[in-house]
Amino acid sequence: MRVVVRVRPGASRERVGGHYGAAADAALVVAVTARAVDGAATAAVLKAVAAAFDVRLRDVTLVSGATHRNKVLDIDLPESLGALRLRELLDS
């Protein structure tokens, strides 16, 4: 399943939850402590999203947005389970 995320690098603590933007096109907010230097924040985002969706790190891949705050991720997870968990995270 594809997930659009909005990254907040340099946060005081890591957190996956909340939404950014309009409800229909909302992006999942991922706050990471890593700074946006040399891909550190992107790597931290992949790790945080894998933990939030309870999948292995290798099941989360970056599709686009390597150097941007908005990223598209592909998560190897059944659509029904993924959609339910995404809704829970967007509402938190």
Mean pLDDT of the chain: 94
Structure tokens at 74: 């592909």
Collapsing DSSP to helix, strand or coil, 55 comes out as coil
Number of structural domains in the chain: 1
DSSP secondary structure letters along 8-45: ETT-SS-EEEEEES-STTPEEEEE-SS-SSTTHHHHHH
Domain of 32 in residue numbering reads as: 2-91
CATH of the domain at 78: 3.30.1200.10
What are the tens digits of pLDDT across the range 37-91?
999 999 999 999 999 999 999 999 999 999 999 999 999 999 999 999 999 999 9
First to last CA, the chain: 20
What are the tens digits of pLDDT across the range 4-25?
999 999 999 999 999 998 877 8
pLDDT above 70: percentage of residues in the chain: 100
What are the tens digits of pLDDT across the range 28-50?
999 999 999 999 999 999 999 99
